[in-house]
């Protein structure tokens, strides 16, 4: 009886260990300029809500891919807060299966949650098996149709804010992240 109770507790612990606190996989980090940091992550799939456009449901999803784009923590630009979200960006993610060369490209869109605040992300279906390895290329640019600069900014700081940047990562294993569940 005691042995079966211990096994039950162990089983419950192991099943809950992939919930709630499932850590995000940091794919890579970089800078868009000296004042803007970017962190690319793979996270457990999630249920998303948007009344204006269709989002991939959690059951159709393998992982949730994210880009956290913020002012750095020692920003010294008047009116800008350390670690504040950078809006009006276009972030494309090209995911290539290293075994089959099958590709998918998705645009990361603005999201908000309690752990990351504002960030760019998307639920995705991997172009292949969860156990395959992947290359991911992120292309980050400014949405020039939406972002307008004032004269004071242009006079004192970079214009445009940064030039298009490409970040590439290889041999990524998303299997563990695709099996994690958040609740």
What's the confidence (pLDDT) of residue 119?
97
At 57 the pLDDT is: 81
- Per-residue pLDDT tens listing for the chain (183 residues): 554 444 334 343 333 333 334 589 999 999 999 999 999 999 999 889 988 888 888 888 999 999 999 999 999 999 999 999 999 999 999 999 999 999 999 999 999 999 899 999 999 999 999 999 999 999 999 999 999 999 999 999 989 999 999 999 999 999 999 999 876
Domain boundaries, the chain: 22-179
pLDDT at 158: 87
CATH 3.30.2000.20 corresponds to the domain 22-179: no
Q: Tell me, what's the pLDDT at 8?
A: 38
What is the model's pLDDT at position 34?
Answer: 94
Give, in order, the Cα–Cα distances in Å from 157 to each of 66, 76, 94, 150: 27, 11, 31, 11
User: CA neighbours within 13 Å on the CB side: how many for 49?
Assistant: 2
Question: What is the SS3 assignment for 161?
Answer: coil
Predicted local distance difference test score (pLDDT) of residue 141: 98
Sequence-distant (6+) residues with CB within 8 A of 11 are none
pLDDT of amino acid 100? 97
Q: What span, in angstroms and rounded, lies between the C-alpha atoms of 68 and 52?
A: 23
- Calpha distance 64→85 (Å, rounded): 19
């Amino acid at each position: 009886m005691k042995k079966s109770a211990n096994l039950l507790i162990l089983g419950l612990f192991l099943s809950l260990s992939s919930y709630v606190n499932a850590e995000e996989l940091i794919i890579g980090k970089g800078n868009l300029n000296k004042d803007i940091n970017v962190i690319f992550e793979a996270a457990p799939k999630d249920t998303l809500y948007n009344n204006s456009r269709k989002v991939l449901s959690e059951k159709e999803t393998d992982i949730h891919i994210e880009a956290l784009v913020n002012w750095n923590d020692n920003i010294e630009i008047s009116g800008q807060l350390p670690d504040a979200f950078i809006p009006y960006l276009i972030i494309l993610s090209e995911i290539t299966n290293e075994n089959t060369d099958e590709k998918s490209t998705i645009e990361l869109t603005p999201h908000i949650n309690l752990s990351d605040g504002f960030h760019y992300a998307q639920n995705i279906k991997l172009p292949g098996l969860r156990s395959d390895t992947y290359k991911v290329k992120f292309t980050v640019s400014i949405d020039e149709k939406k972002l307008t600069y004032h004269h004071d900014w242009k006079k004192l700081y970079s214009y445009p804010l940064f030039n298009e940047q490409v970040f590439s990562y290889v041999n990524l294993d998303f299997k563990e992240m695709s099996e994690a569940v958040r609740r």
